[in-house]
């Protein structure tokens, strides 16, 4: 079964706007990761945030983590058409050799 939920399920924005996706999960975690999946392709790792971190940045990406609410958000600033993809959060209960538990994903469409 899947760990949690992303919302919204689908998001459509204009190029240049910011996109915010949220993720909720159910159990305690060691870390939370965000992945991107383009249609028909595998998942690409975007960013990892550990349970003792609250915010992390990578380029145009900003991730927050609230372990008290068991939630995370991914913000993509100044979106581009190439950002069109599905975005998944995945949690890891322990460090390393345990499986990732994914949400159902948010489908982002960026319109040029």
Among 65, 72, 88, 108, binds other proteins (CB under 8 A): 88
Closest approach, Cβ 103 to other proteins, in A, equals 5
Nearer to other proteins, 85 or 88 (CB): 88
Among 13, 48, 61, 75, binds other proteins (CB under 8 A): 48
Closest approach, Cβ 88 to other proteins, in A, equals 5
> Do 15 and 79 form a contact (C-beta atoms < 8 A)?
yes
Q: Which is it for strands 101-102 and 106-111: parallel, antiparallel or unpaired?
A: unpaired
Rg (Cα) of the chain, in Å, rounded?
Answer: 13
Reduced to 3 states (helix: H, G, I; strand: E, B; else coil), residue 83 is helix
């Amino acid at each position: 079964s899947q760990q949690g939920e992303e919302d919204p399920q689908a998001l459509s924005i204009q190029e240049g706007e910011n996109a915010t996706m949220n993720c909720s999960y159910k159990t305690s975690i060691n870390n939370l990761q965000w992945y991107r999946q383009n249609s028909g392709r595998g998942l690409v790792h975007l960013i990892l945030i550990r349970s003792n971190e609250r915010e992390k940045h990578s380029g145009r990406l900003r991730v927050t983590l609230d372990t008290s609410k068991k939630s995370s958000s991914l913000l993509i600033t100044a979106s581009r058409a190439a950002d069109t993809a599905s975005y998944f959060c995945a949690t890891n209960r322990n460090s390393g050799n345990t499986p990732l538990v994914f949400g159902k994903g948010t489908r982002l469409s960026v319109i040029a």
